[in-house]
Amino acid sequence: MKSGGSQVLPHLPEAAANAPIVKSAQKRIVGARVRAVKSQVLLLLPAVAVFVLFLGLPMLTVLNESFRTFEPGRIGSVEGAPLTIENYAELFLPVYMRYFSQTYFLAFCASLIAVLIAFPIAYFIARYASSTMRKAAMTLLIGLTFLSALVRVYALQLAFGSVGIFAPIMSALGVNMNGSLYINCVIVVGLLHYSIPMSILILIGAVQQLNPRLTEAAQSLGASALSSHLTVTIPLCIRGLVSAFLVSMTLGISAFIIPWILGRGRVMFISNLIYSRFSEITNYPSGAAISIVMMALSLLLIFIMSRLFTLLDRT
Amino acid sequence: MSVLNLKDITKKYGELAAVDGISLDMERGKVLSLLGPSGCGKTTTLRIIAGFTSPDTGTVEIAGKDVGHLRPYERNVGLLFQDYALFPHMTVAENVAYGMRHRGTPTSEITTRVLRMLSLVQLTGMEARRPHQLSGGQQQRVALARALAIDPQILLLDEPLSALDAKLRLELRLELKEILRSVGATTIVVTHDQEEALTLGDEVVVMNAGKIAQRGTPTQIYEAPADKFVAEFVGRSNWFHASKRSQSTDGLTSYVADDGLEIRTRASRPDSEGGVDLCVRPEDIELVDGTAPESAPSPEHNVLAGVVLDVAPLGADVHVVIELPGKSRLLAIRKNVGRGSEILPGQSVRALFSASDVLVFQR
Ligand SMILES: Nc1ncnc2c1ncn2[C@@H]1O[C@H](COP(=O)(O)OP(=O)(O)OP(=O)(O)O)[C@@H](O)[C@H]1O
Ligand SMILES: [Mg+2]
């Protein structure tokens, strides 16, 4: 130990002499790191700027507007109008509650039906279809999403509307085509136009990631085709099922043209209400408050779904 | 009575016959190894027995009953997949219990049986783990426990050890053998590893291109291969091709190999167009010093002089490659006895092997 200690001493000046080199090397390394961080920040800068400028600021003005008092007859609130929570409070009136419940309920029904219909189709395409058939199906599904909303809606109107080609059959069956139940059903069908292809595309990916041997293992252990899917396939696809449901829900809640035309003025979605607030009676503060509530509800929905998902997901 | 009876099973994928007229019967409690090169139809055969693939022709009988119309879950066949296919969202215990749950076993019985199965495969205490928290060998045992838990009439193991590393494979091979014996499960083990096939099976079925090349005990397969394919596929071998037979005396036949070497055999085959292939196992070859005066131990013995090319001591055995006059090579395997008896490269040696150790196959 002693000799070790004495050996260190003569080296000291050398070490000291080396120090600046070490320091400069360290500086270089630190400098490189700072530069790397800087370049990362630079990379993110355009995105951040776009977000703040075109998304954050407009949303803030909407938020601000939603707390202003509105004087009927004006366009939006006056500069410096007094603050109020009246715009939010009135949303608890049953009339408004109906818009919300209608929108969320119909979107929920459409999403549920979409996922239920899409899953077997996606399973078939991912598992049993030949590669050419799979490509054809994908092309068709992606192509469908490009179809104009107006075209779809008027197609449905022509087929199932009160003067549509199915009208005689419907009336023969005793279906009241002007009843609100019928209108709601047509709206759900309209929503399915979007949510089914979207759900299939999402679920194909989920099924493809699943090892086909797992279902076979379940069946060789004695689980019937149905129960092997219920106990193995579906739990392992839960991620895909939840995202397909959420995407369908988003498409449904924000639907505008579908309820506008197919609702025939009898059924309106929140988007339609917001539109009429902003452009028909120019009550910006109320429209803004509805928008904010809608956004909050959607965030809540996503939160609940993801909590549910973590409970269900055991992989 | 046989537990499993396959009759003339054929399965074609397009032009290719994956399984080509296989007939096979198995007795209760026996372990059968299905051995063959990649793509010879082993997995397809298992999938047909399990009911995942339906054969084009032929019948599958389990315990005397035709099961052709039964779905996989209506048959009582345990299948262990090459990649184990454990359910990732279930614990070890849930995996093992899965089959019993779906067969209506009472819950109290399931719990005790899961514990018994896990202790059988030495995984006691791992009940609550998930498959991804287990090593490859442990996953393999869970898969085995899961397949055994339903007490299947037939257990099918598709390359049960192939996903493991060499050392673990060796350990688990013996353990697997013990477990299968203790449970008395009627088992078919698919493998393309000949050592695995010979250790695990009471009987071995060698498959080639969708057909059964030979069925026999491990000893029969090794010592009396039915054809050239089996001889080549199972164990190591030295080959000579001879197109003409010189003569037969005292029950011995002499063949002149293409490189001019004369080889005497006990077995004989009628002459054929393409000549014959002669096979000598490397461990049947004895090496003596080439400088000593030539003396064959008996007239039965073949003596080939050559030069040692390479010596590879591989643990218990030493592999010696000898170059014969005709530039052909001969592999001899001798026990590693050490102590001065080493053979060195460049040394001239004589290779001795008995005429009765030479296998003769028609071309
Ligand atoms: N679903 C299928 N479609 C088309 N061909 C198939 C299919 N399944 C198997 N085959 C073909 O049948 C032949 C036998 O396949 P099989 O999987 O039975 O071989 P194997 O003996 O198990 O081989 P390995 O040792 O590589 O697992 C192969 O040539 C394979 O390409
Ligand atoms: Mg295989």
Highest mean pLDDT: which range of A28-32, A194-198, B331-335: A194-198
> Over 90: is that where the pLDDT of B5 sits?
yes
- What's the CATH number for B238-362? 2.40.50.100
The per-residue pLDDT for range B19-69, each reduced to its tens digit, is: 999 999 999 999 999 999 999 999 999 999 999 999 999 999 999 899 989
> Over 70: is that where the pLDDT of A9 sits?
no
DSSP labels, chain A: -HHHHHHHHHHHHHHHHHHHHHHHHHHHHHHHHHHHHHHHHHHHHHHHHHIIIIIIHHHHHHHHHHTB---TTSSSPPTTPPB-SHHHHGGGSHHHHHHHHHHHHHHHHHHHHHHHHHHHHHHHHHHTS-HHHHHHHHHHHHHHTTS-HHHHHHHHHHHHSTTSTTHHHHHHTT--TTSHHHHHHHHHHHHHHHHHHHHHHHHHHHHHTS-HHHHHHHHHTT--HHHHIIIIIHHHTHHHHHHHHHHHHHHHHT--HHHHHHTTTTS--HHHHHHIIIIIS--HHHHHHHHHHHHHHHHHHHHHHHHHHHHH---
Q: Are B360 and B272 in contact (CB under 8 A)?
A: no
Mean of per-residue pLDDT scores for chain B: 88
> For residue B88, which residues of chain A lie inside 8 Å, CB to CB?
236, 315
> Over 50: is that where the pLDDT of B280 sits?
yes
* Region of residue B209 (left: phi > 0; alpha: psi -120 to 50; beta: else): left
Its pTM stands at 0.78
pLDDT (0 to 100) of residue B158: 92
- Does A228 reach chain B within 8 Å, measured CB to CB? yes
Q: Are A42 and A34 in contact (CB under 8 A)?
A: no
pLDDT (0 to 100) of residue B271: 65
| Cβ neighbours of A2 (radius 10 Å) | 6
> Over 50: is that where the pLDDT of A1 sits?
no
Return the minimum-mean-pLDDT range out of A8-22, B61-75, B126-140, B283-297. A8-22
Instruction: Report the length, in residues, of chain A.
Output: 315
For testing the chain B interface, which of A209, A214, A220, A238 should be mutated: the one with the most B CBs within 10 Å?
A220
The type of residue at A250 is: T
Tokens found for residue A77 = 């609130």
CA distance A183 to A262: 7
pLDDT (0 to 100) of residue A7: 42
Instruction: Kindly identify which residue of chain B lies nearest to residue A312, measuring between CA atoms.
Output: B89
Average pLDDT over residues B250-268: 80
> Over 60: is that where the pLDDT of B234 sits?
yes
> Over 80: is that where the pLDDT of A15 sits?
no
Q: How far apart are the first and last CA of chain B?
A: 38
Residue with tokens 């695995």: B196
A vs B, Cβ pairs < 8 A, gives 67
The per-residue pLDDT for range B129-160, each reduced to its tens digit, is: 999 999 988 999 999 999 999 999 999 999 98
- pLDDT band at A11, cuts 50/70/90? very low
Share of chain A above pLDDT 70, in %: 89
Helix (H, G, I), strand (E, B) or coil at B251: coil
The per-residue pLDDT for range A127-183, each reduced to its tens digit, is: 998 889 999 999 999 888 888 888 888 888 888 887 788 888 888 888 888 888 888
Q: Which of B9, B44, B48 to mutate to test ligand 1, by most ligand atoms within 8 A of the CB atom? A: B44
pLDDT (0 to 100) of residue B314: 82
Q: What is the dihedral of CA B36, B41, B45, B46, to 10 degrees?
A: 70
- What's the CATH number for B4-233? 3.40.50.300
Q: Which of B11, B13, B161 to mutate to test ligand 1, by most ligand atoms within 8 A of the CB atom? A: B13
pLDDT (0 to 100) of residue A3: 41
Residues with CB under 5 A from ligand 2 (ion): B 43
Domain locations in chain A? 2-65, 87-312
The per-residue pLDDT for range B159-188, each reduced to its tens digit, is: 988 888 888 888 889 989 999 988 888 999
> Over 90: is that where the pLDDT of B338 sits?
no
> Over 60: is that where the pLDDT of A22 sits?
no
CA distance A40 to A151: 44
ipTM strictly over 0.95?
no
pLDDT (0 to 100) of residue A5: 40
> Over 80: is that where the pLDDT of A299 sits?
yes
Domain locations in chain B? 4-233, 238-362
Mean of per-residue pLDDT scores for chain A: 85
> Over 80: is that where the pLDDT of B344 sits?
yes
pLDDT (0 to 100) of residue A25: 64
Average pLDDT over residues B85-93: 94
The per-residue pLDDT for range B65-83, each reduced to its tens digit, is: 999 899 999 999 999 988 8
> Over 80: is that where the pLDDT of A284 sits?
yes
Helix (H, G, I), strand (E, B) or coil at B113: helix
pLDDT (0 to 100) of residue A265: 82
Instruction: Kindly identify which residue of chain A lies nearest to residue B130, measuring between CA atoms.
Output: A315
For testing the chain A interface, which of B46, B86, B98 should be mutated: the one with the most A CBs within 10 Å?
B98
The per-residue pLDDT for range A219-272, each reduced to its tens digit, is: 999 999 999 999 999 999 988 999 999 999 999 999 999 999 888 888 889 999
CATH superfamily label, A87-312: MetI-like (1.10.3720.10)
CA distance B225 to B339: 36
- pLDDT band at A2, cuts 50/70/90? very low
CB B53 less than 6 A from any atom of ligand 1: no
pLDDT (0 to 100) of residue A315: 62
Order of all β-strands in the sheet with B203-208: B77-80, B154-158, B187-191, B31-35, B203-208, B211-216
Q: Are B225 and B245 in contact (CB under 8 A)?
A: no
- pLDDT band at B296, cuts 50/70/90? low
CB B73 less than 6 A from any atom of ligand 1: no
Whose CA is closest to atom 24 on ligand 1? B38
Name the nearest CA neighbour of B3 among B152, B103, B145. B152
The per-residue pLDDT for range B99-120, each reduced to its tens digit, is: 999 998 899 999 999 999 999 9
> For residue B78, which residues of chain A lie inside 8 Å, CB to CB?
220-221
pLDDT (0 to 100) of residue A86: 86
Distance of CA A34 to the CA centre of its chain: 37
Name the nearest CA neighbour of A219 among A210, A230, A211, A227. A227
- Does A218 reach chain B within 8 Å, measured CB to CB? yes
Closest by Cβ to A214, choosing from B85, B103, B150 = B85
Average pLDDT over residues B293-302: 75
The type of residue at A3 is: S
Helix (H) or strand (E) holding B218: helix B218-223
- pLDDT band at A46, cuts 50/70/90? confident
